[in-house]
Structure 1
Amino acid sequence: MPSGHENAGYRRLFDGDGMTVGTGFPLTGTRESTPDVAAELELAALAESLGYDALWARDVPTYWPKFGDAGQTFDTWPWLSHVAAHTDEIALGTSSVVLTLRHPLHVAKSAATVDRLSGGRLVMGIASGDRDPEYPAFGVDRDERSRLFREAVETLRTVWREDYPELEGQWGTLEGDLDVVPSPVEESIPLLPTGHSRQTTEWIADHGDGWLFYHLPDRTLESYIGDWRADAGEKPFAIAVRVGLADDPTAEPEPLHLGYHAGAEWFREYFHRLDAIGLDHVIVSLEGDDRAGALEEFADEILADL
């Protein structure tokens, strides 16, 4: 579908007629410690060469063992800058920047920097956060998440589009004598609220450039996309899915948290169903010890068929 946005990453994901597929860091699967940088970059280059459309980096400010996941460990912005320097055309995404825990002017500057360094490839998933201990750690009232999220979105849009803006929020005040530089390659960077981000669907449709959601069963996904189209028209809808490829290509699906373990034959049918439902992009999180092999097998068995 036509994206209506000039950002190169957004066009890579959403300007075609069919569903696109990306994958997310840590590509090595290391989620509770620091992943090997060389191995991550090697897999990122492999994903690009195999035809994946995006590489997504999560924003996890602190490690909470109870949650059991430190994301890709490295801070989102320097990490994506590093990845940008080692890739050429693949879209770079955040999934997702926790706006409530970051100063919006820092986010605006950091994101625009990555966008510039990558040639306009940055697409931003944005979120209100879901790890309770982080709010007191950053001095944020968790009950204010909804308002802070909306305020941050307004701030990002304004400072990217206006020179020397006048703007006020809980984060501070701009009185027209300061500019936030650099600016993005295009007028703005695409923003995709993640989950509900404590907002209504109508607000997300009005203020987002798309909607990034978690894995949903087929019927629920179809219902969500139908409601989204009614509110947002042709703005894109994306989800994340965990994928465990079984050794037996005919294996029937078994549930994983936010995904499935199944054979390649079932996954081919599954991703065709997602495409037919009207999904625009899917972030696959590949399971298994041989991550290069998983990237290649998924590309050969499923991407090539799409």
Structure 2
Amino acid sequence: MSHENPGYRLLFETEEMTFGASFPLTGTNRSTPDISDELHLAKHAEAVGFDGLWARDVPTYWPKFGDAGQTFDTWPWLSHVAAHTDEIALGTASIVLTLRHPIHVTKSAATVDQLSDGRLVLGVASGDRDPEFPAFGLEKATRGDAFRERFEAIRTLWREDAPALEGEWGSLNGDLSVVPEPTTETIPMLPTGNARQSREWIAEHGDGWLFYHLPERTLEDYLFEWREKAGAKPYAMAVRVELDDDPEAQPEQLHLGYRAGVEWFRDYFRRLADYGVDHVIVGLGNDDSEAALSQFADEIIDSV
């Protein structure tokens, strides 16, 4: 599925698997990261060859869950990053549609898209932090329906002027429009995980599928099913990476990823490309973030 959106084209309309890096690039995900350090690393990631920068959407900090994302609210943060970068794609991984009003998402996303000259790609999710649902006055059990209704409302608000819409979030009677418009007809949206939807729904309505790290055999099965249902629509995934000092070090399992040497990671990402993965969001876990970004780009991106 082709899009005029420059961010989408950079990430997905290429013959090679592309790579993004996820905020916080400093690894500070339980408190507020240093803004200047984050921006320095964002510019460095672009300079060394990463194709995307991805920000999470975590409205509240729940210590039991373990992290607060990149802390800053997604929309102003990505606007700030857009002002300090040039061409790298900017993504959300992922906006929790069930916790945000669709009119707000429509306006905020289009604003970032305009400020970044069309570099925005949206991962969208149904939410997985239990206490946030009552905090927002929502029923966790109905998040699948809420996700679907809000997803479809956002699409309609971008594509139609003053539409008539109704959902659990509210109603529009055809008198109101939402401005600004995106730089293109619509901003690409990739459901994240299963988003409480069927694979058929995701394949039909999504502009791709964003998933988490999976064992390779499971990943192969997922991709086979995805290609059957979605054809050429892209598949993106997130993986945690810690680069061992020993380039030949074998993998050590981490939560949603591995610690290993660059030689093993080089082979691993080549296998992912052969399976049909289109884009990988890398969460680097090394202490020296700038050196890790450079090493990953020089020794892995350039070799896959």
- TM-score by length of structure 1 reads 0.99
Amino acid in structure 2 at the alignment position of 1:25: F
Amino acid in structure 2 at the alignment position of 1:107: V
Shift >3 Å, 4+ stretches: none
Instruction: State how 1:7-46 maps to structure 2 within 5 Å.
Output: 7-46=5-44
Map Cα deviations across residues 112-166 of structure 1 (whole Å, 9 max, x no partner): 0000000000000000000000000000011110000000111000000001111
Map Cα deviations across residues 176-206 of structure 1 (whole Å, 9 max, x no partner): 1111000100000000000000000000001
Superposition deviation, residue 219 in structure 1: 1.1
Superposition deviation, residue 288 in structure 1: 1.3
Alignment-derived partner of residue 200 in structure 2: 202
Query: Following the alignment from structure 2 to structure 1, what is the Cα–Cα distance between the partners of residues 13 and 145?
Result: 32
Q: What SS does structure 1 have at the residue aligned with 2:31?
A: coil
Indicate which of 234, 239, 242 corresponds to 2:240.
242
Alignment-derived partner of residue 303 in structure 2: 305
Q: What SS does structure 1 have at the residue aligned with 2:184?
A: coil
Q: What SS does structure 2 have at the residue aligned with 1:271?
A: helix
Query: Following the alignment from structure 2 to structure 1, what is the Cα–Cα distance between the partners of residues 2 and 240?
Result: 29
Instruction: State how 1:111-122 maps to structure 2 within 5 Å.
Output: 111-122=109-120
Query: Following the alignment from structure 1 to structure 2, what is the Cα–Cα distance between the partners of residues 127 and 93?
Result: 13
Query: Following the alignment from structure 2 to structure 1, what is the Cα–Cα distance between the partners of residues 276 and 168?
Result: 39
Alignment-derived partner of residue 73 in structure 1: 71
Query: Following the alignment from structure 1 to structure 2, what is the Cα–Cα distance between the partners of residues 190 and 159?
Result: 14
Query: Following the alignment from structure 2 to structure 1, what is the Cα–Cα distance between the partners of residues 79 and 135?
Result: 26
Q: For structure 1, list consecutive stretches of 5 or more residues without a partner in the other structure.
A: none
Superposition deviation, residue 171 in structure 1: 1.4
Map Cα deviations across residues 20-41 of structure 1 (whole Å, 9 max, x no partner): 0001000000010000000000
Alignment-derived partner of residue 276 in structure 1: 274
Q: Quote the sequence identity (%).
A: 68
Superposition deviation, residue 18 in structure 1: 1.3
Alignment-derived partner of residue 261 in structure 2: 263
Query: Following the alignment from structure 1 to structure 2, what is the Cα–Cα distance between the partners of residues 296 and 18?
Result: 19
Alignment-derived partner of residue 97 in structure 1: 95
Amino acid in structure 1 at the alignment position of 2:100: R
Aligned-residue Cα RMSD (Å) equals 0.6
Query: Following the alignment from structure 1 to structure 2, what is the Cα–Cα distance between the partners of residues 22 and 170?
Result: 35
Query: Following the alignment from structure 1 to structure 2, what is the Cα–Cα distance between the partners of residues 158 and 241?
Result: 32
Superposition deviation, residue 170 in structure 1: 1.4
Map Cα deviations across residues 43-74 of structure 1 (whole Å, 9 max, x no partner): 00000001100000000000000011000000
Query: Following the alignment from structure 2 to structure 1, what is the Cα–Cα distance between the partners of residues 95 and 45?
Result: 22
Indicate which of 164, 168, 174 corresponds to 2:172.
174
- TM-score by length of structure 2 reads 0.99
Query: Following the alignment from structure 1 to structure 2, what is the Cα–Cα distance between the partners of residues 178 and 265?
Result: 56
Q: For structure 2, list consecutive stretches of 5 or more residues without a partner in the other structure.
A: none
Map Cα deviations across residues 215-237 of structure 1 (whole Å, 9 max, x no partner): 01111111100000000000000
Alignment-derived partner of residue 286 in structure 1: 284
Query: Following the alignment from structure 1 to structure 2, what is the Cα–Cα distance between the partners of residues 15 and 169?
Result: 34
